Amino acid sequence: MFSFCTDPDALEGVKWLSCYLTTGKHQSMYWAVGTVLLLLAITAPAALLFGFGGATAARSRFRPLAWFGKIYISIVRGVPDIAFFLFFVIALDQAFEWVRHQVKCPDWDQEIWQGNDFRVCPEAKLPLGNAAQWVHETYGFFLAVLTFAIVFGAFAANVLYGAMQAVPRAQIETAEAYGMTHRQSFWRILVPQMWVYALPGLSNLWMVLIKATPLLFLLGVEDIVYWARELGGSKTAQFTDYPHPDWRMWYFAALLVFYLAFTRVSEIVLDKIMRRLTKGQATMGGEKQRKAAA
C-alpha cells in the first residue's frame, strides 16, 4: 500500500482507486491468480501422465490391465466433474487418514465411523490440528491438483488411445518385421507419431482445463472467482475503509479479459507446436507446409 493511503476518507479519484486495489484482500486475489497458474502448470503434465498411463493400459495385451484402463476412462468421463470433485476429495482425504490411523494408532478402540462422522485419532489427521496455516493450504492445493489430474487424465487417456489407434498398423508391423520388439516399436514408432493425431484433442482439453479452474472453490481453495465475488460485492463504511456499490460486474469483466487473453496465448503456442509436429509428416498439416515451402 502507498504512503498516502493512511487516510482513505481524504482520497479521491486515481489515488483512491490505487489504494483500494492494493489492500490486503486484493493482494490475496493477485496471489490467487498465481495459484491458478501454478495449478495449470502442475496439473497439465500430471493429467498427461495419467492419460498416457490410462491409454497404454487400455491397449495392453494383458487383459486385466486393459480392463483397468478402460474402466478408468469410462467411469471418470461418465461422472459429472462437480459430482466427482465433491465425492473424490472427501473419499481421498479419508483414505489418507484411514491409512495413517492404521499405522499410528493400532490400539485405537473406538469406531472410526460414528454415524455420519468419520473420526480417526488426532495423530492421523491430515493436516495435524496444530499445523501452520500454510500446511493446510498446501495440503488442500495438493488434493486439488490430484483431483484435477485424475479427472482430466481420463479425458487425455481417451484422446491418446484414439491417437495410438490412428497410427497406421502397417508401420508397427514393418518395424517388428525388421526385428524390433513390441516395446521398441511402441516407443520408437507409435509414440512419436501419435502426438500429431492427439494434439487437436489435447488442445481442446487444455482449454477446458483452463475454464474448469473456477471449480477450485469446491475443493476449499480460494481462487480468483471467489475473490472477484467477495471483493466486488457491495461494501459499506461499516465493514471496510473503501466503501463502494456492487462492482461484481467489473470484477467478472476483468476475469473475462484474463481468461480470453490466456486462451488466446494458448492458441498461439499450440498452433506453433502443431506446425512443428506436422513438419514432414504425411498429414494435411504436413502437406500444407510442403506446398507453402515449394
Q: Per-domain residue ranges for the chain?
A: 3-223
Q: Does the pLDDT at position 287 exceed 70?
A: no
What letter does residue 118 receive in the DSSP assignment? Answer: E
pTM (two decimals): 0.79
Cell of 241: 475503509
Amino acid at 110: Q
Most distant CA atoms of the chain, gap in Å: 83
Read off the pLDDT band of 288 (50, 70, 90): low
Q: Does the pLDDT at position 78 exceed 70?
A: yes
* Topology, domain 3-223: MetI-like fold (1.10.3720)
Read off the pLDDT band of 66 (50, 70, 90): very high
Grouping H, G, I as helix, E, B as strand and the rest as coil, residue 114 is strand
Q: From residue 255, how far is each of 5, 225, 264 by CA, in Å?
A: 26, 8, 14
User: How far is 216 from 227, CA to CA, in rounded Å?
Assistant: 12
Sequence-distant (≥ 6) Cβ neighbours of residue 281 within 8 angstroms: 193, 196
What would the pLDDT profile of 3-46 be if each residue is shown by its tens digit?
Answer: 667 776 666 778 778 877 888 788 888 888 888 899 899 999 99
- Region of 233 (left: φ > 0; alpha: ψ -120 to 50; beta: rest) is beta
Residue 117's φ and ψ, nearest 5 degrees, are: -95, 140
Nearest partner of 202 among 51, 37, 33, judged by Cα: 51
Give the model's pLDDT for residue 93.
82
Q: Cβ distance 163 to 197 under 8 Å?
A: yes
User: How far is 58 from 157, CA to CA, in rounded Å?
Assistant: 9
Cα Rg of the chain (Å, integer)? 25
Q: Does the pLDDT at position 72 exceed 80?
A: yes
What's the mean per-residue pLDDT of the chain? 82
User: How far is 150 from 48, CA to CA, in rounded Å?
Assistant: 10
Q: Cβ distance 49 to 152 under 8 Å?
A: no
